[in-house]
Chain A
Amino acid sequence: MPAVEMVGVSKTYRRRGGQPFRALDDLHMTVQSGGVHGLLGPNGSGKTTSIRVLLGLVRPDAGAGQMRLLDRPVPAELGGVIADVGALVETPLFSPGLSGRMNLRLLAEAAGVSRARIEECLDLVDLRDRAGDRFKGYSLGMKQRLGIAAALLKAPRLLILDEPSNGLDPAGIKDVRELVRRLGHDGRTTVLVSSHLLGEVQQMCDSVTILARGRQVASGPVAQVLSRAGTGDVRVGVPDPAAAAAVLAAAGYSVSPAPDGQVLVHGSPAPGAITRVLAEHGHYVEELVRVTPDLESAFLAITGAQA
C-alpha cells in the first residue's frame, strides 16, 4: 500500500506584478509504505510545495482528487488521516514566548496526546533539559529539534520532514539521520524526508524521488536510481596500467586513464572478458570495480538532462 500517492498534481503561484511560477507541473509521486523515502531536488523544484499540497496548506490547480495519504484521499479525508501523519515543514512554527514543553503541550492537548508522550519525544531529540526554556531563546538547531519532536508526538505512521537537518551541527545531523533510519525501519512508520543534502539522502533513504521544475524526473530505490545514471564503466587495477590499457585497446575496448592512475574501461564491458584478455597477455588483475556514481553525480546528471 502506498503511503503517499500524487497523480498529475499541478500548482501555479500567481505573483502580484510578476510572472506566474509553476511550482508543480503534472507531478506524479508514489511512496511505498515502510522505510525512508527521500525527496530530492534543487531549490524551486517543488519539494516543499508538494508537501504543502499533501497537507492541505496549498490548494492544487489540478490533481486534487488524485492524492492519497495512507490510502485515504486528501484533502477530502485529511481530517481522518491527520492523526497518523506527523510533519515538519520548513521552519518550526511555535509561539516564541512559551517554553518548548508548553508549545508541545498546546499541540498535544488538541489531539489528546498524553504528557508522558511529550517527555518521551523531548527525550528523543535530547531537549528535555531545555524544555522549560522559552522557544525564542533556542538556537536554530534546538528549534529544529523541537519541530521534529512535535512531528513525532502523534507517533505517526507517516512522518514528513522537510529539510530536517537545517541548522543542526554535524553531530545533530548524524543523530537525525539515525533517528530517521530507525523510525523508517521500525515496521510501522514511513518517513518522507526532503533534503538538498545529497549525501544525507544517500545515507538515510531507501528510495528517492528526484524533482526538477515541479516534475518527477527519477524515482525508485536509491541504488536503482544511481545505476540508471551510471555510465557502466569498469575500473581495472593492474601493476602496469599503461601496458594493460594498450592490450585492452588492441582488443577493441574503449579505455582511458582513471583518476587514480588505473585503467577505466568504457561501454559496460563484461568484467570476465576483461580479466581473460589481460590474463592472456600476462597482466593479472588486482582489482576490478564497476564504477557507481554517487547520488550527487546522478542528481546532476538527471536534473541536468531535464533542464
Chain B
Amino acid sequence: MSAATQQPKAPAGPEGDRRGGSLLRSELLRFTTRRFIQVLLGLAVLGWLGAIGIGLASFDHPTEADYAVAQETFEQAREDDEQWREECAAQAEEAGQAVDDFCGPPMTVEDFLQVQPFDLASNATPGTMGFAAAASVLAFLVGATWIGAEWSNRSIVALLFWVPNRLTVMGAKVVVLALAAAVIGAAAQAAWLLMAWILDSAAGSGRELPDGFWDELLAAQGRAVVLTVLIALLGFGLANLTRNTGAALGVAFVYFAILESALRGFVGLSADRWSLLVNAVALVLPGGTRIYDYSTDFATEPPSYLVTNLHGGLVVGLYVAVVVGIGTWLFARRDLH
C-alpha cells in the first residue's frame, strides 16, 4: 500500500464530488453484472435454439408415401375401432350424451401419419404454456440467486452502510427483479412466436387460423408474463426467507414433489383449488382450467369446478405476497451480522 504513504488528495466534499445517486440504477447494474444470471440466460437461449432444431426435425409436410403407410395402418385398425365405437355409442345413449362428445371424434387417416406438419392453431396454446413454464423456472432460479447470493456474500449488509433504510433496499431489489422477470417472460413469449413462425414457414399446415386466434393467444401470453414475474418473486421470497439459494430450490422441490401430492391425498381434490401448480396453469390457460373429480362413477360426467384466470392469478399472487412479505418483515426487524 505504498501509495497510501504519499499525501492523499484532499477528499472532495460530499457536495462537490457527488451527483444524484440512484439505488435503482445501482441495483440494475448489479443485476446485469451478476455472472450466474448471465449463465442462466445464456443456457436458456441455447435451449431455445435446441428446441427450434428439434421442431424443424419433427415437423414436415407428409408425402404420398407417408399417406400410403398411414392408410394401411388405418385400415388395420378400423375394424377394431368400429366395434369399440358401437359399444361406446350404447354407453353414450345410456348417459344421454352425444356420441362424439362421449367417445371422441372417429379415427381418420391423418391420425396415423408418422410425419405431421406444424399446425399453428393447435400448437399455439401448448407452446405458450410450455414457454411460460420454462420462463417461470428460469425466473425462479434468477429470483432465488439474485437475493441468495447477496446473503451468501453479505453484500446486502454492505449496502446498508449506504442506504440504511432496509425497506428501501429490499424494495429496490424487488423492483429490479420484477422488471427483469417481465423482460424474461416477454422475451420467452416472443421467442415462442418467432419459433412458431420459423416452424410454420418451414413445415406449416397452411390451415386457416380461427377467428379470435391472436386475441386469445396474446392475452394468454400476457398472463404468462405475469406468471413469470410472480414465480421470480416467489423464488426471491423463499431465498430471502432461508437466506440461501440452494435452500430455496430445496423448498420448491419438496413442495412440488411431495407436499402437493400429500395434500391431495389428505385433503382430497379440493386441495387443487389452492394448489400452486393448478393455479399457475389456470392463470395462463385461456378460460382457466377445469378440475374433475374422477373418484366418482365414470358412467356419468364427473363433478368439476373451474379455476379461472383471475382465481389462478389471485392465489399465486397471494402465495407470493405472503412469502415476500414475511421475508421483508424479518429483514426489516432482524439484527444483521
Contacts and interface: CB of A to CB of B under 8 A. Distances in A.
Interface of A: 13, 52, 55-59, 75, 78-79, 82-87, 89, 92-98, 102-103, 105-107, 109-114, 116-117, 120, 123-126, 128, 145, 150-152, 154-155, 168, 171-172, 174-176, 178-179, 182, 186, 188-189
21 contacts: A13-B335, A57-B335, A57-B336, A83-B18, A87-B161, A93-B154, A93-B155, A94-B158, A95-B30, A95-B155, A106-B29, A111-B21, A112-B22, A123-B3, A125-B4, A126-B3, A174-B5, A175-B2, A176-B4, A179-B1, A179-B4
Given A94-B153, A155-B13, A112 B29 contact: no
A59 B7 CA distance: 39
Judged by DSSP, the binding face of B is loop
B160 interface: yes
A145 B2 CA distance: 12
Contacts of B159: 107, 110
B23 interface: yes
A109 B333 CA distance: 26
Given A79-B165, A172-B1, A56 B160 contact: yes
**Contact-residue bracket for chain B:** 35 or more
A128 B8 CA distance: 14
Given A94-B155, A155-B13, A107 B162 contact: yes
Interface centre among A105, A111, A152 (most CB of B within 10 A): A111
A258 to B, nearest CB: 38
B12 interface: yes
Q: 4 smallest A-B Cβ distances: which pairs?
A: A112-B21, A155-B11, A109-B26, A175-B1
A107 to B, nearest CB: 6
Contacts, number: 143
Contacts of A111: 18, 21, 162
B12 to A, nearest CB: 6
Interface string B155-174: 10111111111000000000
Interface in B185-201: none
Given A97-B36, A117-B12, A126-B2, 11 more contacts: A55-B160, A55-B164, A82-B164, A94-B158, A106-B26, A106-B30, A109-B29, A111-B18, A124-B3, A154-B162, A176-B4
Contacts of B21: 109-113
Interface of B: 1-5, 7-14, 17-23, 25-26, 29-30, 33-36, 149, 153-155, 157-165, 333, 335-337
A213 B27 CA distance: 39
A112 B160 contact: no
Contact of B4 (A92, A98, A126, A154): A126
A172 B1 CA distance: 6
Given A84-B14, A110-B26, A111-B21, A175 B160 contact: no
Given A82-B164, A124-B3, A154 B26 contact: no
Nearest to A182: B8
Contacts of A168: 1
Contact of A114 (B4, B17, B30, B153): B17
Given A107-B162, A186-B10, A113 B29 contact: no
B8 A179 contact: yes
B157 to A, nearest CB: 6
